[in-house]
Amino acid sequence: MTDTNSFKGRTVIVTGASRGIGRGISRLFAQAGANVVLMARGQEGLDAVAADLDPDRTMAMAGDVTRRTDLDRTVNAARGRFGRLDVFCHNAGIYPETPLEDVTLEEWHTVIDTNLTSTLLAVQACSRAMREQRYGRIVLVSSITGVRVGYPGLSAYSATKAGMLGFMRTAALELAPFGITINGVEPGSIRTEGLAGLGEEAIASMVEHIPIGSLGEPEDIAHTALFLASDGARFITGQSVVVDGGQTLPEIPV
């Protein structure tokens, strides 16, 4: 387990920080002593997360990850207040569920821009600062969907999550000479607001197919992100960790 003070004095940006996995990641880094910069589109949601954190070590920056200017502004604000940028956790994403034949080009481009193009923009924005320091940790939150498995209605989302990890492997080669690592996390079924609307029966059916016997929690993803951002993971780059309770292991449903 990572020492609770291991990130003291380090600065972390988390996108999609106002809810779910992003909120869990932000809280855990804060508990580990980091300065945490929260980024999401809605200021109200960010302020609610920030209210539970140390105000001296927290910033809440509303912004759109599809806009280069918003990402640059967030990186510059983080460095301006805390002096450096050590970790960037890119978690923001959307997952509209639409049958393949009904996916419009407008929806396709929206999902691609939000999930995949934003990955390029985010890595460009944070890596410029990290290159100057000759140090940095980038963690991308992908998914088992599109990488290990498919799911009806998530064709666009699946394409972005698989693309994110393909991008990551080449980025790892280009960033390694500057002391920067980039790795991914592939969550399975995690208890977030996105699952709340499914209903208890659907969630129970989902749990039946998870060998560990429960949904994952945002903290499960957060602990993995924390490790990948730690000095203990200094020799790991271009890799992706599946955190799914064994969901993708069975050859046939168990």
Q: Tell me, what's the pLDDT at 205?
A: 86
Does the structure show a pLDDT above 50 at 195?
A: yes
The tens digit of pLDDT for each residue in 12-28 reads 999 999 999 999 999 99
Residue 169's nearest CA partner among 227, 237, 217, 120 is 237
Structure tokens at 183: 């790795």
Host H or E run for residue 50: helix 43-50
Q: Which residue has the tokens 């999401």?
A: 40
Residue 235's nearest CA partner among 190, 197, 179 is 179
Q: What is the mean pLDDT of the chain?
A: 95
Bridge partners of 254, per DSSP, are: none
Q: What pTM does this model have?
A: 0.95
Domains annotated for the chain, with CATH where assigned, are: 11-240 (3.40.50.720)
Sign of CA dihedral 173, 174, 180, 186: negative
The tens digit of pLDDT for each residue in 50-74 reads 999 999 999 999 999 999 999 999 9
**Catalytic annotation present for 135:** no
